Structure 1
Amino acid sequence: MIGLICLGNPLHADDGFGTAVHQRLARRRWPAHVRLHDGGEGGVLDLLRQCRSAILVTSLAGHLGRPGQVLRLCESEVPSDPQGPLGAGTASILAAMRRLLTQPPHTEVLGAVALRQVPFSAGLTPLVAAAVETASAMLWRELGQSPPCSS
C-alpha cells in the first residue's frame, strides 16, 4: 500500500498546505492500493506501519526555495533532527518512524515552500494556495490512475 499522508495546521497560515491538499484530494476516488490520510486525525505511525511507501504532504521552510514552489524531497534529503528545516511535525514523524518501525516504508516529502507560518492566522498566502492545485494534480497523475509500483 502507498500512504498519502497530509500534514499541517490550517490555523497557522501556510502550515495548512497539507490540510488544503487533503481537502482537494478527498474529492477523488483513489485506487485500492493508495490510502489518503489526514495526518491531523492521528494514527500516522499505524498507517506507516502498513505501507511499503509513503508520501508526506506538508509545507516547507522558506529557505528551501521560492514561496509557493512545490518540491519533492527524497528521504535522504529530509533531516532526521526533529528541529530540522521541515519543522517539528514532519521531521518528528520521520524520526519516530525510523526509530519505531522495524521496516519503515520508503518515504518522500512533497511540499510547498511557505511564505508565512504564523500561529492563529488562518488562510494560505496566494502563492501557497496556488500550489495546492499543482501538488494535487501531481499526486493524482502519479497515483490516482496508475497500477501499484513494483518497487
Structure 2
Amino acid sequence: MILVAGLGNMFCSDDAFGVSVIAELAKQSWPDHVEVQDFGIRGIHLAYQLLEPYELVVLVDAVQRGGPPGTVYVVEAEPDPEPGPEVSMDAHDLGPDAVLSLVPRLGGTLGKVVVVGCEPADIGTGIGLTPAVQDAVQTAARLVTDLVVGQRVREGTS
C-alpha cells in the first residue's frame, strides 16, 4: 500500500500547498493500492493512519528551507524507529516531524517516507496560494506521480 498525504491549512495562504497538490492528484485515477488523501491540519488523524503498514508514504506540505518561494523539494525522511519525545496532542499544531515521531509512540512502524515540499512565500492568514507557490503545484503533482509509479516499478509490478 502507498499513502499520499497532503498537509496544510487552507486559511494560511501558502500553507495550503499540500492541500492544493492533493486536489490536483485527486483528478487522476489511482490503482487500489494507492490512497491519496487530504489531511489538512489533522495531524493526529494522519498519525493514526500511519499505523497501517504502508510500503511508501509521500507527505506533501509547505516546507521552509530557505530557498526562493516556489522551490520544490523532495526529501527522504529518516523517521526514528524509537518513540520520539512527547508531542502536543493539538491537532492544529502537529507538523510532519511531530506526526512521524508520534507513530512509534502509538505502536506503529514506518516504512519509506518521502516529503514533497514547497518553499512558501507567505503562510500568514489568507486564502489562496501566492503565484510562485501556485506555479509549483503541477510540478509537485508530477513528482508525486513519478514517486508512486517508480515505487511500483522497483517492486516489479505495474
Question: What TM-score range do you get, normalising by the shorter chain?
Answer: 0.7 to 0.9
Instruction: Tell me how far apart the structure 2 counterparts of residues 94 and 145 of structure 1 sit (CA, whole Å).
Output: 23
Matched, 1:53 2:59: no
* Identity across matched positions, percent: 28
Contact 1:30 1:144 in 2 (8 A): no
RMSD of equivalent CA atoms: 2.8
Larger deviation, residues 45-54 vs 19-28: 45-54
TM-score (norm 1): 0.82
Alignment size in residue pairs: 145
CA shift in 2, pair 1:4/1:10, >3 Å? same
Aligned-partner SS, 1:74: strand
Q: Which has the larger radius of gyration?
A: 2
1:27–1:104 CA distance, 2 compared to 1 (3 A): same
Q: Does 1:147 align with 2:152?
A: yes
Which has the larger helix fraction?
1
Question: Per the alignment, do residues 133 and 45 of structure 1 end up closer, same or farther by CA in structure 2, a change over 3 Å counting?
Answer: same
Supply the distance in 2 between the matched residues of 1:124 and 1:54 (Cα, whole angstroms).
24
Cα 1:148–1:37 change in 2 (3 A) is farther
| Conserved 8 A contact 1:54-1:108 | yes
Deviation sequence 1:126-146 (CA, Å, 0-9, x none)? 110011010001222332587
Unaligned runs of at least 5 residues, structure 2 = 88-92
Mapped partners of 1:62, 1:13: distance in 2: 17
CA deviations over 1:19-64 (Å, ceiling 9, x no partner): 100110111111122110111384312321221220110001152x
Q: Measure the CA separation in 2 of the matches of 1:46 and 1:148.
A: 28
Corresponding residue for residue 77 of structure 2: 75
Check if 1:125 corresponds to 2:158.
no
**What does residue 16 of structure 1 align with?**
16
SS in 1 for 2:78: helix
Partners of 2:151 and 2:30 lie apart in 1 by: 10
Is the 2:17–2:62 Cα contact (8 Å) retained in structure 1?
yes
Aligned residue in 1 for 2:40? 40
Do 1:48 and 1:105's aligned partners in 2 also have CA atoms closer than 8 Å? no
Write the letter of the residue equivalent to 2:95: G
Question: What TM-score do you get using the length of structure 2 for normalisation?
Answer: 0.78
Structure 1: stretches of 5+ with no match in the other structure: none
Q: Provide closer, same or farther for how the CA distance between residues 149 and 49 of structure 1 changes in structure 2, counting only shifts above 3 A.
A: farther
Distance 1:128 1:18, change over 3 A: same
User: 1:110-136: per-residue Cα shift (whole Å, max 9, x none)?
Assistant: 1111111103x1111111001101000
